[in-house]
């Protein structure tokens, strides 16, 4: 079953780890046949660790809940607990930073373009955001094109391009940004609303090449279907919530599709 939303499904944000991993694989696969001679799309990743001063609760990846059936002896000798304890154990894993880059295999595997599909950590306060902003600056210094795909509704106050930089009549929930290596201070921005399909985004390559268009909407739909996300409970409220106007529109959409009563 497909998503009932015509573009980005906001309920996928709660499952972003799975969607993010799938989307990067599909982006790489989609670009490969369209790249000029000598260029290849490759998936890259690195392990990121939070500083001790940063909150890491949001990056706990596994929660195991085990209910003990036997009674437990407390500190006081001879006393017996009336009810068994429920033990909650967190297994922490480091954050993995993943992206797609286009390299020139005829020029020492030089990185031509980086494609960043933003995750919550890229946008929220903390070390992950600082590392991402540094990476954006490093791309500019190295002469690498950057494509930034933001399909999350969280605020952009800690990113280079903020919503306040977009004209009020063009602001929307989602934003695709392109920064070309030859004009590092110029960003081409493509807003996308909740009610529309996600537009194709131009992928800049070498100076001698034309852009390649990346159609994101079919990849989103594929990630939804392949990830079996048709089990989403659309009766639950979103976090963060939609605006009153968008919620009314979404409620009507979901009821018409039989996904909300």
Q: How do residues 236-254 score in pLDDT, each as one tens digit?
A: 999 999 999 999 999 999 9
Q: Provide the Cα torsion 208, 210, 215, 216; round to 10°.
A: 40
pTM of this prediction? 0.83
CA distances from 255 to 50, 192, 247 (A): 42, 23, 12
Q: How do residues 164-209 score in pLDDT, each as one tens digit?
A: 999 999 999 999 999 999 999 999 999 999 999 999 999 999 999 9
Q: How do residues 99-123 score in pLDDT, each as one tens digit?
A: 999 999 999 999 999 999 999 999 9
**Gap between the Cα atoms of 32 and 179, Å rounded:** 21
- Mean pLDDT computed over 133-150: 97
Instruction: Supply the pLDDT for residue 61.
Output: 29
Establish if 215 belongs to a structural domain.
Answer: yes
Establish if 50 belongs to a structural domain.
Answer: yes
Establish if 160 belongs to a structural domain.
Answer: yes
CA distances from 72 to 78, 82, 86, 223 (A): 11, 9, 11, 46
Establish if 5 belongs to a structural domain.
Answer: no
Q: What is the 3-state secondary structure (H, E, C) of 70-123?
A: CCCCCCCCCCCCCCCCEEEEEEECCEEEEEEEEEECCCCCEEEEEEEECCHHHH
Backbone angles phi, psi at 37, to 5 degrees: -55, 130
Tally the domains of the chain.
1
Query: Residue 64 — pLDDT band, cuts 50, 70, 90?
Result: very low
Q: Tell me the percentage of the chain whose pLDDT exceeds 70.
A: 83
Query: Residue 159 — pLDDT band, cuts 50, 70, 90?
Result: very high
Which of the two residues, 85 and 67, has the higher pLDDT score?
85
Instruction: Supply the pLDDT for residue 48.
Output: 67
Establish if 134 belongs to a structural domain.
Answer: yes
Domain span at 115:
10-73+80-232
Q: Tell me the percentage of the chain whose pLDDT exceeds 90.
A: 78
Q: Cβ(241)–Cβ(248) under 8 Å?
A: no
Q: Cβ(10)–Cβ(238) under 8 Å?
A: yes
Q: How do residues 7-33 score in pLDDT, each as one tens digit?
A: 999 999 999 999 999 999 999 999 999
**Gap between the Cα atoms of 171 and 190, Å rounded:** 9
Establish if 242 belongs to a structural domain.
Answer: no
Establish if 145 belongs to a structural domain.
Answer: yes
Establish if 112 belongs to a structural domain.
Answer: yes
Other C-beta atoms within 10 Å of 234: how many?
A: 20
């Amino acid at each position: 079953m497909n998503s009932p939303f015509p573009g980005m499904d906001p309920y996928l944000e709660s499952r972003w780890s799975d969607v993010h991993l799938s989307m990067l694989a599909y982006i790489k696969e989609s670009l490969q046949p369209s790249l000029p001679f000598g260029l290849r799309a490759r998936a890259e990743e690195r392990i990121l660790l939070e500083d001790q001063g940063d909150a890491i609760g949001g990056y706990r990846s596994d929660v195991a809940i085990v209910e003990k059936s036997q009674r437990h002896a407390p500190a006081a000798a001879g006393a017996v607990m009336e009810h068994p304890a429920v033990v909650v154990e967190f297994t922490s894993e480091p954050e993995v930073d993943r992206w797609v880059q286009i390299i020139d295999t005829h020029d020492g595997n030089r990185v031509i373009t980086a494609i960043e599909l933003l995750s919550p950590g890229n946008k929220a306060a903390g070390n992950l955001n600082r590392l991402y902003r540094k990476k954006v600056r490093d791309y500019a210094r190295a002469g690498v094109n950057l494509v930034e795909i933001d399909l999350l509704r969280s605020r952009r106050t800690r990113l280079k391009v903020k919503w306040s930089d977009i004209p009020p009549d063009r602001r929307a929930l989602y934003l695709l940004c392109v920064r070309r290596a030859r004009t590092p201070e110029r960003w081409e921005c493509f807003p996308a609303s909740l009610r529309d399909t996600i537009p194709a985004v131009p992928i800049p390559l070498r100076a001698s090449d034309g852009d390649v268009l990346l159609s994101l909407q079919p990849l989103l739909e594929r990630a939804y279907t392949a990830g079996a996300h048709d089990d989403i409970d659309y009766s639950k409220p979103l976090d963060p919530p939609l605006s009153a106007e968008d919620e009314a529109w979404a409620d009507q959409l979901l009821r018409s599709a039989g996904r909300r009563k």
